[in-house]
Structure 1
């Protein structure tokens, strides 16, 4: 697989309201671990729409990984100025990510016009990628369920999940990396 779409929950769906929330480090660690395995198998591009939460964190992880690996990030938002109503620090993060991206192009010119733009975004990502990685808890789906449903309807489209158990593993690995853990 050369092109992977990554998506998941928006930050508020995870009860994360601050950029320094410690939960973000665990989510990013789980994303990084999975991306490295895909990169080592030949992954070349990660595609995101840039929505706040998992997608922005994925973008930050890819930028970190670019220091070691030959991996590219494409940001394809459903429309222009999607970040205009976000909190200012998150807008800043998004704009920095867009500036650093290897590719950036909104699907629709202009601002938000309607829900059809989000459906078109999901269709586009499934069509343009060879598989997806989704942070998803089947028992508590959020806005990511729309992409997940589209992906499940697509024949021969691999769906990889980061589950709550994967996040628990990331927390445990983080704790075990602390030298005081072993004392």
Structure 2
């Protein structure tokens, strides 16, 4: 049985990350990779992101890395809430986004129009949850932020459907940081 995962989470500014080279990003990507590897063992074939800056594009990069590591059957879909979501982004962010779209296996928009109002985000959350088997979310309930809405949509959906939610919280990230530091100091 093929499995589909949605990955989302905080945007860079919600985590206080303002540089594409911030070392914290590597730990976030390791946490995502760990989740994906366990899902691959359970038949994961598709990862869906909506193309948001931050967690979603880092997750896309992790998918590309896994493809290079021999997980050829793993595919990435970028399904945006509306057309031209990157329209008002800075050039550097647009280039990063475009590089992800070029490598993705599938790209589409849920509403075939530009941004009109917040209902497009609600529709996106509902669509992503209904089209997937599992949500992997970088979200800590103690730190409010944009992932809360997708999390609430998934929880509501979970009341009537079998649906897995895997949160990556700050404790998980801290554990990965410590694990990596131990590897480096050769304990």
Distance in 2 between residues matched to 1:20 and 1:85, nearest whole Å: 22
- Are 1:94 and 2:85 matched, yes or no? no
Name structure 1 gaps, 5 residues minimum: none
Distance in 1 between residues matched to 2:140 and 2:97, nearest whole Å: 25
Name the SS for the 2:109 alignment partner: coil
Post-superposition shift, 1:83? Answer: 1.2
Distance in 2 between residues matched to 1:39 and 1:15, nearest whole Å: 31
- Are 1:82 and 2:88 matched, yes or no? no
Distance in 2 between residues matched to 1:32 and 1:11, nearest whole Å: 18
For residues 19-51 of structure 1, the C-alpha deviation after alignment (integer angstroms, 9 at most, x for no partner) is 011110010010001101101221000000010
Moved more, 168-177 or 113-122: 168-177
Distance in 2 between residues matched to 1:93 and 1:174, nearest whole Å: 27
- Are 1:141 and 2:144 matched, yes or no? yes
Report matched runs for 1:29-178 at 5 Å. Answer: 29-67=30-68, 68-69=70-71, 70-154=73-157, 155=160, 156-178=162-184
Distance in 2 between residues matched to 1:44 and 1:8, nearest whole Å: 20
Post-superposition shift, 1:173? Answer: 2.0
Post-superposition shift, 1:163? Answer: 1.1
TM-score by length of 1: 0.95
Aligned length: 181
Post-superposition shift, 1:174? Answer: 1.8
For residues 109-154 of structure 1, the C-alpha deviation after alignment (integer angstroms, 9 at most, x for no partner) is 2321110100100010011001201111111120111100010001
Name structure 2 gaps, 5 residues minimum: none
Name the SS for the 1:84 alignment partner: coil
Report matched runs for 1:3-22 at 5 Å. Answer: 3-22=4-23
Distance in 1 between residues matched to 2:41 and 2:182, nearest whole Å: 25
Q: Which runs of 4+ in 1 moved over 2 A?
A: none
Post-superposition shift, 1:52? Answer: 0.3
For residues 41-92 of structure 1, the C-alpha deviation after alignment (integer angstroms, 9 at most, x for no partner) is 2100000001000000000000110112120000001011111222222211
Higher-strand-fraction structure:
2
